Amino acid sequence: MKRISIFLIFLVSLTLMLGCTKDFDKFSENPNDPQQVSTGFILTYAQKYLMDNMRDEWFGGRCTFLLSQYWAQNNYTDEDRYLFRTTVTDAQWRYFYLGLMNLRDIVRLNTDEETKNDALANGANENQIAVANILTAYIMQIVTDTWGDVPFTQALLGNENQTPVYDKQSSIYPALITMLKDAAAMIDLNKDGIKSGDIIYNGDMALWKKFANSLRLRIALRMKAKDPAPFNEVVALGPDALIASNDEIAAFKYVGVAPNNGPLYDAWFTENRNDFTMSKPFVDLLKGVNDTLNSKTNPFTGIFDPRLPIFCTPVNGEYLGMPYGMTDSDTKAYAANCPNFKNDPSVVQASDFSYVLMDYAEVCFILSEANGWDQTWYANGVEASLEWWGVAAGDIATYMAALPAANQERVLTQKYIALYPQGEQGWFEYRRTGFPHTLVHPGEITHVGTSGNIIFTPLEGNQIPRRLLYPIEEQGVNANSYAAAVAQMGGDTQDINVWWAQ
């Protein structure tokens, strides 16, 4: 009987255990992740995520640094020859939009009645919204300049719109101008700036306002051929409304300690890749030598640029860049003589490098362009760049003394040099202006080998690409919008000009 009682007790307890689902609360509560965090935490993430992915060895090293010919690969040169890995370009599309979603979330948390009071803990709502929107405009311009027509007005709506249409670039550009105007206007210097989490300006709203205006200047310039009005409007704000010195540069500086090393440090010293070196066209431009193979004259012939020793270290006492666009096999005879960033890392490979979003030199060059290739702004731009790179004062003076006077080619070529290593901007500006002339083009001689001239023969296309291919993924998950975009772009190839370049 005793045994039976034990058994019954067991039965009853088991039944009670099964009795209800009230304890389900305990089981459905996620012990791992929070539902609420400070907006500052999200801002830090969004800023770092952007830089980590845009200026790394992939979208940077294997796309934009090659498209701008700042670098060349010293082996496996498919990308130098414009056969890009779709996995890399597809992923970058994703990185941009997923990053934008975090900025959108900051806007939401500062707008939504339920959350905006909590968000105040990290600064005034309008200041936080302005910062998120400035960064959004910054990213969106790069996205549209890389691909052309892209999702914008219907983007970032989560499950409210799963198949966003691709807006025409001709409508995205004006919208970005408006977005930046509104953001600058929204910034309230009398209220709290971003309290924590802003790596770029550490919450200095006055600088964010200047960045908003400067970025508007960049965007308006690029669409100037289509509509000069927005450009004239922002130039009219005057230089004081813009980034006005090297101290006001929009840049993201890495901590310099893992896991917060610069992405190019990680490429060489974490991933252990040593696939990239300086390209010959860029090194020759800085050395002041002419391209005799293709009969091109260096706009700064005979002037040695003091930034070159900062960008790389000579091998056997000589600065030799990798001839751009050679086959894997042809690179072998040259690789050993080109700068080796593994053995001699440059400041770009520094673990705590400051990756620039937009700098004072660029503002100067744009103002020079706005004022008919103005000499003063041109000289200011060159000097600002030399200073930022840490060129010694004496060398600056020597170089400035030798610098030939401003004209279109010189201003735009100096701008190209100063943009290093913003690979994407170097490439976009080439597409806008055709400068520098010194880039090696498909069909031109890139070098003279043992068996004669080595011609730059791309694997895809026959010119420097005008855009990248849309992600393969979009063909599946957003098929109709993709098809409509391809139709309105006139195809999905690397040779199609985006709106402002048409």
Partner 1 sequence: MRKLTLFLALMCLLGLQAAFAQRTITGKITSSEDKLGIPGATVLVKGTTVGVISDANGNFTLQVPKDKNILLISFVGMKTVQLTLGESNVVNVELSPEAQALEGVVITALGISREKKSLGYSVQNVSGEDLIKTRGEANFINTLSGRIAGVQVTGASGTMGGSSRILIRGVNSVSGNNQPLFVIDGIPIDNSDFNSTNTARGGGGFDYGNMAQDVNADDIESVSVLKGPNAAALYGSRAANGVILITTKKGKQAKGGGIGVTWNSSVTFDRVAMLPTYQNKYGGGTIYTGEDGKDGFAPGPVVNDVQMYVPDFYTDESWGPKYDPNIMVLAWNSFDEWDTENYLKPKPWVAPENDVIDFFKTGVGFNNTVSFTGATAVSNFRLSYSNLDADGYMPNSKQNKNTISFNGSTDLSDRLKAFTTFNYVKTVYVGRPETGYGDNNPMVRFNQWGQRQLDMEEMKAYLNPDGSQRTWNRTAWDDPTPVYSNNPYWSRYKDYQDDERNRYFGNVGLSYQICPSIRLQGKVNADYYNFRVRERIAIGSAFLSSYSEYLRENTEINSELMAFFNRNLSEKISLNATAGLNQMTRKYFRNGGATQGGLVLAGLYTLANSAVPASVDDYSNQKRINSILGSASFGYNNRLYLDLTGRNDWASTLPEDKNSYFYPSATVSFLLSELNYLKNFKPLSFAKVRVGWAQVGNDTDPYRLLNYYLANDNFGEYSSYRLPTTLNNDKLKPEITTSLEFGAELIFLNNRLGLDITYYDKSSKNQIIPVPTSSATGYRYQIVNAGEITNKGIEIALNTTPVKLNNGFQWDLNFNWAKNENMVVELAEGVNTYLLGSLFGIEVHAEEGKPYGSIRGYTYVTDDKGNKIVGTNGRYIQSTTIKSVGSVLPDWNMGISNTLKYKNWDFGFFFDIQKGGSLFSLTHMWGMYSGILEETAALNDKGNEMRDAVADGGGVLNQGVYGKLDADGNVVYLNPDGSTSEVPVANSTYVSALTWAADHYSRARASKNTFGADYIKLREIRLGYNLPSKYLGPIQKASVGVYARNLATWGLKNQHVDPESVTSAGNIQGIEGGQLPPLRSFGINLVLSF
Per CB under 8 A, contacts with partner 1 among 380-439 are none
Structure tokens at 242: 């813009």
23 in contact with partner 1 (CB under 8 A): yes
Asked if 49 is part of the footprint of partner 1 (rule: CB under 8 A), the reply reads yes
Distance CA 165, CA 15 (A): 56
Which whole-number Å values give the CA distances from 38 to 112, 135, 271, 455, 457, in the listed order? 15, 18, 32, 55, 52
Q: How far is the CB of 28 from partner 1 (least distance, A)?
A: 5
| Using rule CB under 8 A, residue 121 touches partner 1 | no
The region of 32-40, 56-64, 172-180, 402-410 touching partner 1 under the rule CB under 8 A is 32-40
Interatomic CA distance for residues 371 and 377, integer angstroms: 9
Of 85, 77, 16, the residue nearest 458 (C-alpha): 77
Q: Which is nearer to partner 1, 100 or 308 (CB)?
A: 100
CB 246 within 8 A of CB 282: no
Cβ neighbours, 10 Å, residue 46: 25
Beta bridge partners of 278: 71
Per-residue tokens: 139 = 């990213």
Query: Would you count residue 48 as binding partner 1 (CB under 8 A)?
Result: yes
Q: For residues 138-197, which are near partner 1 according to CB under 8 A?
A: 150-151, 155-159, 161-164, 196-197
Window contacting partner 1 (CB under 8 A); options: 22-30, 309-317, 363-371, 431-439: 22-30
Applying CB under 8 A, which of residues 232, 292, 297, 475 lies at the interface with partner 1?
475
Residues 260-299 interacting with partner 1 (rule: CB under 8 A): 260-261, 269-272, 274
Asked if 494 interacts with partner 1 (CB under 8 A), we say no
End-to-end alpha-carbon separation of the chain, Å? 95
Residues in a beta bridge with 453: 448
Shortest distance (Å) from residue 460 CB to partner 1: 9
Which of these segments, 7-15, 207-215, 231-239, 293-301, binds partner 1 (CB under 8 A)?
A: 7-15
Residue 98 in the binding site for partner 1 (CB under 8 A): yes
Interface stretch with partner 1, choices 84-92, 227-235, 369-377, 379-387 (CB under 8 A) = 84-92
Part in contact with partner 1 (CB under 8 A); list of ranges 5-13, 130-138, 168-176, 376-384 = 5-13
CB of 274 to partner 1, least distance (A): 7
DSSP three-state, residue 431: helix
* Helix and strand totals (H; E) in the chain: 21, 8
Interior angle at CA 446, CA 440 and CA 449, nearest 5: 175
Q: What count of residues does the chain have?
A: 502
* Among positions 79, 149, 284, 330, the unique one binding partner 1 when judged by CB under 8 A: 330
Q: Which amino acid is at 283?
A: V
321 binds partner 1, rule: CB under 8 A: no
